[in-house]
Amino acid sequence: MLDLTIVIVNYRTADLTIDCLHSIVNDPSVPANTRVMVADGVSGDGSSQLIAAALTDNGWQDTMALLDLPKNGGFAYGNNHAIAAADARWGKARAYLLLNPDTLVRSGAIGPLVQFLEDHREAGIVGSLLEDPDGTHQACSFRFPSAISELEAQARFGPITRIVQRWHVVLSVGRTPSRADWVSGASMLVRREVFEQIGGLDEEYFLYYEELDFCRRAADRGWQCWTVPQSRVVHLCGQSTGISAKGVPAKRRPAYWFNSRNRYFEKHHGRWRKAAVDLAWITGQAIWQMRNAIHPRPNYDPPFLVRDFLAHRTARTGK
C-alpha cells in the first residue's frame, strides 16, 4: 500500500488538533508506513507546547512531528512548509493527506482513500465524505464555479436553480466513488506526482479557494479528482476559522475571503470574464434581495456581505 504523509496545519486549535491525532491513531485502516507532520502557525496561545506534550505523552514521536512555522502564512503556506519538512525528515511519500485540525477521522476512513489512489492511476486527488458528528452529510464534492453558478447560488430561486442545475457547484455524493472537479481541502489526498508536476498550493491565497485552485491546476494537467464516500470524516465546520460554524450567527466575512475569490477568478478566467462573474453574483444578490423584500425569509448571509463584496472586488492578495 502507498506510504503516506498526513499534514495538519494548526492555528490556535490545539485541542482540536490533538483530538484529530487521536482519531488517526485509532483508525485501523491507516497504512503502517504513515507519518504525521503538524505545523503550528505561530499561534501564540500555547498550542505548540500542548501539541508537543501530546506527542511525548502518547509516545507518538517516532511517527509524528511538530513544525513551528516562522509566521502564520495561511493554509497553503502551512501545508507547503509542512510537506517540505516531512520530506526532509522522513523522505518523500507517495501520497499526502491534507487534513484540517477540526476533523475527526472515522474508523476505517483513511484506508479507502489510499486504496483508491493506488487502484486508479488516473486519479491525482481524492476527497473524503465530510459529515457532521451526527452523520449528516456536508458539501464536499464540487463542480468548478462559473458566472451561471454564482448567479444561481446568490439568487436562491427555485426556477433559476432548476434551469441551471447542470452548473450547480455542489455535487451529490452517493454510495460509490464519484468524479468531481474539486474536493474540500478538509480531507484531501494528493498523489506525489501531482505536486511534482504543478507545484505546491498557491501561497498567494491566505485562506479559502486554495484547494479549488490546486484542483483546477491538476485538472489542467490531466489529473482526475474523485470523492470516496467510504472515507467518512467528521468536519467540525468552521471551528478552525469561525467563519462557517454551524448553529451560531454568521460572522462578517474577512477581507482575505474576498481577496482569495478575486485571485481565483482572475487567475483562471481573466479580468474580463471575472467581471462577468462578479456581475452575475451581484445580479443574483439583487434577485434575492427583491424576493426577500416581498416575502421575507430567513437570511443566513454574513453581515454587510454586499457592501464588503463591492469594497473588495478588485483586491487579490493579503489578509
Cα-atom radius of gyration of the chain, to the nearest Å?
A: 20
Identify the band that residue 242 occupies on the pLDDT scale cut at 50, 70 and 90: low
- pLDDT greater than 80 at residue 241: no
Domain chopping of the chain, boundaries: 4-137+173-235, 255-311
Task: For 270, list phi and psi in degrees, rounded to 5.
Answer: 90, 165
Residue 162, classed as helix, strand or coil, is helix
- pLDDT greater than 90 at residue 244: no
Identify the band that residue 250 occupies on the pLDDT scale cut at 50, 70 and 90: confident
Instruction: Report how far residue 61's alpha carbon sits from residue 52's, in angstroms, rounded to the nearest whole number.
Output: 9
Instruction: Report how far residue 188's alpha carbon sits from residue 56's, in angstroms, rounded to the nearest whole number.
Output: 27
Q: Which of 7-11, 25-29, 105-109, 248-252 has the weakest average pLDDT?
A: 248-252
pLDDT tens-digit series, residues 58-81:
999 999 999 999 999 999 999 999
| In the chain, % of residues over pLDDT 90 | 89
- pLDDT greater than 70 at residue 315: no
3-state helix, strand, coil in the chain (%, to 5): 40, 20, 40
Identify the band that residue 239 occupies on the pLDDT scale cut at 50, 70 and 90: low
- pLDDT greater than 70 at residue 115: yes
- Confidence (pLDDT) at 247: 60
Q: Look up the CATH number of domain 4-137+173-235.
A: 3.90.550.60
Q: What is the mean pLDDT of residues 153-179?
A: 94
Q: Which residues pair with 137 in a beta bridge?
A: 131
- Confidence (pLDDT) at 238: 64
Instruction: Report how far residue 227's alpha carbon sits from residue 171's, in angstroms, rounded to the nearest whole number.
Output: 10
Q: Which residues pair with 131 in a beta bridge?
A: 137, 234
- pLDDT greater than 60 at residue 161: yes
Instruction: Report how far residue 137's alpha carbon sits from residue 141's, in angstroms, rounded to the nearest whole number.
Output: 11
- Confidence (pLDDT) at 210: 97
Identify the band that residue 148 occupies on the pLDDT scale cut at 50, 70 and 90: very high
Nearest CA-CA partner of 20 in 271, 313, 239, 167:
239
- pLDDT greater than 70 at residue 245: no
Residue 171's Cα: distance from chain center in Å? 15
DSSP 170: B
pLDDT tens-digit series, residues 172-183:
999 999 999 999
Identify the band that residue 297 occupies on the pLDDT scale cut at 50, 70 and 90: confident
Instruction: Report how far residue 6's alpha carbon sits from residue 27's, in angstroms, rounded to the nearest whole number.
Output: 13
Question: Are the beta carbons of 105 and 128 closer than 8 angstroms?
Answer: no
- Confidence (pLDDT) at 246: 61
Question: Are the beta carbons of 257 and 243 closer than 8 angstroms?
Answer: yes
